[in-house]
Amino acid sequence: MSKQQTYFQVQQQYQKLVINQGAEVPAVTELLLGITGWTPIELLRQQRNIMPTSQQEKLKKAIQKYLAGWPVQYLLGKAAFFGHEFSVDPAVLIPRPETEELVEWILADFPQNESLKAVDVGTGSGAIGISLKLVRPSWQLTLTDLSGAALQIAQKNAQQLLAEVVTIEGDLLQPLLGKYDLIISNPPYIAENERPLMDRSVLEHEPAMALFAAENGLKIYRRLAKQLAAKLTDNGRLYVEIGFQQAAAVKKIFHQQLPTAKITVKKDITGKDRMIRVCLKSDK
């Protein structure tokens, strides 16, 4: 690539390359913004200026990795979620926009900033728990994960976003002491036989332990259901994300363990069943 090329020329060249490879064109701009540290408006203002060779080399390497299947978020080391920027690496899942709807549902159910004890189980990057803490600062938020590497990322995000949370390494609800008003989780729920349906970039780079679950994707829900009564307060609630075809099966699992609980399924913005709320008291 010529050293004397403008930002506009470089961007155009890589956009053509990405189109020819059948990849997503906006990735070029995302990577360019990440490398320069600019906003989209700043990039627009710099379009006719010469792009330094060092930046061209960084962008070239990033584009090559992207075309080889690396997610843009891992290449940049960050992902947007609920209005904040979270650090991410292959130790944690990249936060998805649909998970923001789970956060919105919880906040809508608890509009007042009352003091509640809450835990984000299998927190990964900490996106759910930290986002809740930033909106409801009086909540006591705990983040747990089986992966120590994931917890390090969650701790980093909590520090960067000035969220006062507690982190605990451990398996599901087992390491928790006492009872909680809210238990929240986006657990692994993809069945192993669904691997052929998934994007290559997800399979090759995101942590399998955060994606796949045995028993046709339902194992973690069964384990949570068995542990739940001992860890929720009398008025406590569980909120979980589910696969869009799992609502009936997951409801059945919780009903079997908690016959008197009130279980609600919520659709996402696309009309798919994607979230479940379990209230220990059926009148809630």
Q: Which domain holds residue 140?
A: 78-279
CA distance 239 to 225: 12
The annotation status of 22 as a binding-site residue, yes or no, is no
pTM comes to: 0.92
User: Do 122 and 243 reside in the same domain of the chain?
Assistant: yes
One domain, residues 41 and 139 = no
Residue 92 lies in a domain: yes
189 labelled binding-site residue? yes
CA distance 268 to 32: 32
Does any domain span residue 229?
Answer: yes
Confirm or deny that 186 is annotated as ligand binding. Answer: yes
**What is the pLDDT, as a whole number, of residue 1?**
44
**Cα angle 74-86-220, degrees, rounded to a multiple of 5:** 85
Q: Is 171 annotated as a binding residue?
A: no
Q: What is the pLDDT of residues 117-169, one digit of tens each?
A: 999 999 999 999 999 999 999 999 999 999 999 999 999 999 999 999 999 99
Residue 187 among known ligand-binding residues: yes
Q: Is residue 213 part of a domain?
A: yes
Letter string b/e over residues 191-218, b meaning 16 or more CB atoms within 10 A of that residue's CB: beeeeeeeeebbeebbbeebbbbeeebb
pLDDT at residue 112, as a whole number? 84
The pLDDT of residue 215 is: 95
Is 125 flagged in the annotation as binding? yes
Average per-residue pLDDT for the chain: 94
Q: 89 a known binding residue? A: no
CA–CA separation, 160 vs 79, rounded Å?
Answer: 13
Q: What is the model's pLDDT at position 280?
A: 86
- What domain count does the chain have? 2
Asked whether residue 77 is marked as a ligand-binding residue, the answer is no
